[in-house]
Copies of this chain bind each other. A is one copy, B any other.
Amino acid sequence: MISLAEAQQLDARDPLAARRDKFALKPEQIYLDGNSLGAMPHAAQQQVAAVTQLQWGEDLVTSWNKHAWIDLPFITAKKIAPLIGAHRDQVVVCDSVSVNLFKLLACALSLRPGRLRILTQQNNFPTDLYIADGLSDLLKHASYRVEKVPVNRLADALDNDVAVLLLTHVDFRSGHMHDMQRLTQAAHAAGALTVWDLAHSAGALPIALDDWEVDFAVGCGYKYLNGGPGAPAFVYAAARHHNALSQPLQGWMGHAAPFDFAPDYRPRKGIAQFLSGTPPIISMAALDGALSAFDGIDMTEVRIKSIALAELLISQVESPPTLKTLKLASPRSAEARGSHLCFQHEQAYEIVQALIDLDVVTDFRAPDLIRIGLTPLYTRFEDIWHCVDRLQKVMVNKLYAAPQYASRKSVT
């Protein structure tokens, strides 16, 4: 184990240390749940204040043009594109991850007529499974089937009946990271398309969607992109597919000429066809402002710090005998992980609550995981030290056994 002073020395040498000043975090705040809800960048708050006070408040409806609200889904997307290795005009911000997955899966199925299976992993993030099932149920006349297999059976299940391989890049529980390039190649070799969910990886580590020849992807605005609670999601669609798409949630904002109010739908060209209804501008403005925290960032540097934080956390937890009941439930190899770690313990829920009461925020994932998110833009090495220090207090003093933690209440 290292000392607090040594952890602080690591922070002093950290080239990303100054980024924390861009966030509304107090010096004493130890927030290790940025993979559930990213901390608030000051710029997000400022942009929200501008949109309410000055734009909506004073310029009212004229702001759609005057303050370019109408372009915001693209303006914001252009800030996300370089973080995920996408060249311009392949990303748009709109709706939620769930709704966007529905659009993309429907598009992918229509691009592979005759193929009747959506292949996915059985412990994929539940909303991905629910949406695939919902689409398949809706299309019951077409006899589609969602096949959910263990990770080690994915390769075998990829045959010429699979229309689309639907996977999440980084597992929301274990933090296990797929080899996106290799699996995309395998899908293509079988004639299938890919839809990747980047919820736990966009903004956390380098991604190269274009280079890896990914077909479609969705990502979350409110985790590592720090866009605020329920921030709109983003859609990536490779340019080579744009002219052949037909997305079913065809709302007026996706029309080639929305203000003509024509009775027949004619989709906008390119990525804009993924827009549906009017976007939630205030929430989107928060995301747009938040992305300035990434200005000039090198995602490789983010990844280097993420791994250093994780390695420190593992060694600090595994060193003292007081914490030997906590079992690492994430891959031990940094290459196989995203930017969070899970530790297993029967009292995980109660431990997480006791930590919150000691001003350390991590989160619980059923049935028995303590999940600790590492956000290199604001997580300090010192935070890791304090987290483990307080975790020892919780375990040594059995604080988790306090009666107020006995009745479980869900925390997102």
Contact = CB atoms under 8 A, between A and B. Distances in A.
Interface of A: 24, 26, 31, 33, 36-37, 39-40, 44-45, 48-49, 51-53, 56-58, 60-65, 69-70, 95-99, 102, 106, 122-123, 125-127, 129-131, 133-135, 137-139, 141-142, 148, 172-173, 222, 228-233, 246-253, 255, 258-265, 276-284, 286, 356, 361, 363, 365-366, 409-412
A103 to B, nearest CB: 10
14 contacts: A24-B57, A40-B57, A44-B52, A45-B52, A61-B361, A64-B229, A64-B411, A64-B412, A129-B263, A137-B246, A138-B138, A138-B248, A261-B366, A281-B283
Q: Which of A57, A173, A262, A363 has the most CB of B within 10 A?
A: A57
Contact of A232 (B31, B61, B248, B280): B280
Contact of A228 (B31, B52, B126, B363): B52
A15 to B, nearest CB: 25
Contact of A249 (B60, B134, B233): B134
B277 A130 contact: no
Given A24-B57, A56-B40, A412-B64, A230 B33 contact: no
Given A61-B411, A141-B141, A230-B280, 9 more contacts: A51-B229, A52-B286, A96-B279, A99-B99, A125-B261, A134-B265, A137-B246, A231-B280, A260-B366
Given A137-B246, A278-B230, A255 B126 contact: yes
A95 B106 contact: no
A223 to B, nearest CB: 10
